[in-house]
Amino acid sequence: MAKRKEPKRPKAAPLLDAWFEGAGTTQEETITDTLEKNYLPYAMSVIISRALPEIDGFKPSHRKLLYTMYKMGLLTGPRTKSANVVGQTMRLNPHGDQAIYETMVRLTRANECLLHPYVDSKGNFGKHFSRDMSFAASRYTEVKLAPICETLFSEIDKETVDFIPNYDNTMKEPALLPATFPSILVNANMGIAVSMASNICPFNLGELCETVIGLMKDPAYDLLKTLKGPDFPSGGYLLFDEEELRKVYSTGRGSLRVRAKWSFDKAAGCIEVTEIPYTTTVEQIKEKIDELIKAGKLREVNTCRDETDLNGLRMAIEVKRNTDADKLMQKLYRLTPLQDNFACNFNILIGNTPRVMGVREILEEWLAFREECVRRRLFFDLSKMRDRLHLLEGLKLILLDIDKAIAIIRATAEEALVVKNLMDGFGIDEIQAEYVAEIRLRHLNREYILKKIADVDDLRAQIDDIEATLADPKRIQKLIASELRATAKKYGQPRKTMFLHPDDEPEVPIEDDTPDYPVHLFLSKEGYFKKITPQSLRMSGEQKVKEGDCIVLAQEATNKTELLFFTDKAQVYKVRASAFDDCKASLLGDYIPVKLGFDEEERVTGMIATTDYSGQVLFVYENGKAAKLPLSAYATKTNRKRLTGAYSDKCPLAKLLFLTEDVPLLVRSSGNRAILTDTSQIPEKATRSTQGVNVMTLKKDQVVVTAEIVRGERLAQVETYRVKTLPAAGKLAKGLEEADQLPLV
């Protein structure tokens, strides 16, 4: 069989040879270097070029889309198919047609996402208040720029902003848009970048323009005088909180509460919701109400329907007869997104640097940006006027002797020398001579030239006025103020979000509607918990536990009982018994570390059930110390689920006991010694972090292993171990076994 001949590898270039020599080799690189080279540029790109808005109020995707529509003539022309705009925008935005179209949807009037939409739309663009109402494909919808976009592009051709190359360097696009009003605070804007985010709430255009004018007159102007609060396109009621608003205005962070607007149709027995918080959707509200109805927490409600139609949003909550609508709505505000919070985070790019700023600082930055735009516009106009004045002054010289100008042109043999001969004949420069040479023969008459140069004096006056304006910052501010007033007058609209002051809210007592009934509570050594009704317990057999596990607590309580689960990480988790489902003895129950979200490797050391936080907690530590604390030390006014520093973590806990009165206490050590004392000998402490007092004296390498409350016959058995004073070393425990009973923990 003939041997197959391997083909020769063609002779490679030197660079390719070097690659072949290095093929198959690896080079070690630290993870920090890899992140710096690969992830950091991506993170910076997301922050600077995608997620965060700039001082003109737009992200790059918004700006590219609107500028494309402007260049397509959609500011004054008829609507065009959305697909046409999407296709044209891809020359500036390389992120794909669907991403561009979704950006457009949010800017449209039909979507109702913006207080002042930038895109006039026709067709189905979905609704901001609905999660499931999808928008139609771009081939079916039509768009054009809304009239308010005139304020964005009226000066863009006057060199008011810088232009930068697009992604493939084939055309230019504006770095910012020269908006004549602070659009950054007029429309809501949300963005999620890498390690940071932005969430800007909208304000009323008229109020904002008036506030900017006030700020120009007085840098210490109180913003709340005119800027009463956010104005959401979804309407609703803003719960007025002056302290929180001032915090937002000064720091750019804060949380504002917004409520739905509703009315009660008594004849139909139905609550009609027509406006909802900006941060939620009708589907989220309906799902939550349905969930509460199934859980039996909304017994006053029969059903909830979404009746949104072409007339706008409408939710119908059908209630039972004789239901107090005010009380029910207060309950719904607490339990559903009918009242929601808007978390303000005014993170804006200033000079490619993200900054969290308050409203005052944002307006100051916008004023600086706007002043720069006005200056650049004035410089542009000034340059054009000076050029025109220069041409007219040359034309004025021609007026002195029109015949001479005609004679020079006629006597010039070569066309290239016409401009030179005019320059020599009248003492004008090349630009002026070129302008004269281009005048038509029919216009070389006295009447035409006089009409042309009639505006010279007015032109000079305008130039002097612009130069005076550029030299006086106050005149520039007056110009900005007049533009703001004109914008507010033309595009301002009444406030949509009304205010609800705490004094205006009816006082409706908060009723606890948690069903209350007797239950039996069980806790196993491994941390499994069961809540069983007496009827179910009577019908059940033995308690089911995992192999190697056992029940360490059995206690009667009610469904409203507060449960405190203490852990080996010196933390306590608070929860109501009603948070657990009723269980059967034949089931394992709920695993507490998972149910309550414990930290990793955190375990239950004990549980206390209470309704009034009376009684005391006794902590016995392995080093022989014991601390007695009032249970009221764990009562909180707010609904906190976890308290850190529940007890001292300087030494491991040997036992946790709940006391309702002073009782005999038996403490045993690893050295097989025991002492019997009374809990009255251990003083009560006020701070949770204390280790208390020494109870048992231990030898080296010995620890307390357990402590128990003793009563009845058990007390008589251990009376020999009683000590009169503390601390004590105790006696050897001969034949003493642990109590065969459930400890009262």
Are residues 518 and 558 in contact, defined by beta-carbon separation less than 8 angstroms? yes
- Distance, in Å, from the CA atom of 667 to the CA atom of 657, rounded to the nearest integer, reads 12
CATH 1.10.268.10 in the chain: give the residue spans: 365-491
Q: Smallest Cα–Cα separation from 107: which of 156, 67, 158, 140?
A: 67
Are residues 554 and 534 in contact, defined by beta-carbon separation less than 8 angstroms? no
Please tell me the predicted confidence (pLDDT) of residue 24.
Answer: 57
The burial class, CB within 10 Å (0-12 / 13-18 / 19+), for 480 is: buried
Extended beta strands in 74-162, E state: 80-81, 119-122, 142-145
In this structure, is the dihedral angle defined by the CA atoms of residues 287, 292, 295 and 299, taken in order, positive or negative?
A: negative
pTM for this entry:
0.73
- Distance, in Å, from the CA atom of 513 to the CA atom of 519, rounded to the nearest integer, reads 17
Which letter does DSSP use for residue 680 in this model? Answer: G
Are residues 469 and 375 in contact, defined by beta-carbon separation less than 8 angstroms? no
- Distance, in Å, from the CA atom of 141 to the CA atom of 404, rounded to the nearest integer, reads 64
Instruction: Give, in order, the Cα–Cα distances in Å from 206 to each of 79, 212, 231, 239, 497.
Output: 28, 10, 11, 21, 14
- Tell me, letter by letter, the H, E, C secondary structure of 503-534: HHCCCCCCCCCCCCCEEEEEEECCCEEEEECH
- Distance, in Å, from the CA atom of 92 to the CA atom of 87, rounded to the nearest integer, reads 10
Are residues 623 and 703 in contact, defined by beta-carbon separation less than 8 angstroms? yes
For the record, the structure tokens of 70 come out as 């402007």
Residues acting as catalytic residues = 140
Sole residue written with tokens 């499994």:
528
Sole residue written with tokens 């003083």:
683
Neighbours of 685 (CB within 10 A): 17
Q: Smallest Cα–Cα separation from 204: which of 175, 222, 172, 182?
A: 182
Residues paired with 610 in a beta bridge = 562
Are residues 577 and 609 in contact, defined by beta-carbon separation less than 8 angstroms? yes
For the record, the structure tokens of 184 come out as 């950054």
Q: Smallest Cα–Cα separation from 611: which of 564, 665, 544?
A: 564
Please tell me the predicted confidence (pLDDT) of residue 14.
Answer: 55
Q: Does domain 261-337 have CATH number 3.30.2090.10?
A: no
Residues paired with 498 in a beta bridge = 237
Strands 571-576 and 664-669: unpaired
Instruction: Give, in order, the Cα–Cα distances in Å from 84 to each of 60, 71, 87, 144, 507.
Output: 19, 13, 5, 11, 56
Neighbours of 671 (CB within 10 A): 19
CATH 3.30.1360.40 in the chain: give the residue spans: 261-337
Q: Smallest Cα–Cα separation from 272: which of 307, 317, 319, 321?
A: 317
CATH 2.120.10.90 in the chain: give the residue spans: 612-635+643-745
Extended beta strands in 1-141, E state: 80-81, 119-122
Q: Does domain 612-635+643-745 have CATH number 3.30.70.980?
A: no
Specify the CATH number for 58-178; select among 2.160.10.10, 3.40.50.10900, 2.40.50.100, 3.90.199.10.
Answer: 3.90.199.10
Which letter does DSSP use for residue 149 in this model? Answer: G
What SS3 state is found at 399?
A: helix
Q: Smallest Cα–Cα separation from 72: which of 145, 160, 164?
A: 145
CA count, 13 A, side-chain hemisphere, 546: 11
- Distance, in Å, from the CA atom of 31 to the CA atom of 22, rounded to the nearest integer, reads 22
For the record, the structure tokens of 236 come out as 């609703």
- Distance, in Å, from the CA atom of 57 to the CA atom of 314, rounded to the nearest integer, reads 31
- Which residues, other chains included, contact 723 with Cβ-Cβ below 8 Å and sequence gap of 6+? 675, 676, 677, 730
CATH 3.90.199.10 in the chain: give the residue spans: 58-178
Q: Smallest Cα–Cα separation from 253: which of 365, 396, 102, 361?
A: 361
The percent of residues above 70 in pLDDT, for the chain, comes to 93
- Distance, in Å, from the CA atom of 105 to the CA atom of 82, rounded to the nearest integer, reads 10
Please tell me the predicted confidence (pLDDT) of residue 20.
Answer: 52
Specify the CATH number for 365-491; select among 3.90.1580.10, 1.10.268.10, 2.40.50.140, 3.40.50.300.
Answer: 1.10.268.10
Neighbours of 60 (CB within 10 A): 20
Please tell me the predicted confidence (pLDDT) of residue 742.
Answer: 41
The burial class, CB within 10 Å (0-12 / 13-18 / 19+), for 442 is: exposed
Task: Report, as ranges of residue numbers, the positions in the chain whose pLDDT lies below 50.
Answer: 1-4, 7, 9-10, 12, 19, 740-745
The percent of residues above 90 in pLDDT, for the chain, comes to 64
Please tell me the predicted confidence (pLDDT) of residue 505.
Answer: 63
Which letter does DSSP use for residue 535 in this model? Answer: H
Instruction: Give, in order, the Cα–Cα distances in Å from 20 to each of 12, 16, 24, 70, 287.
Output: 9, 6, 9, 53, 62
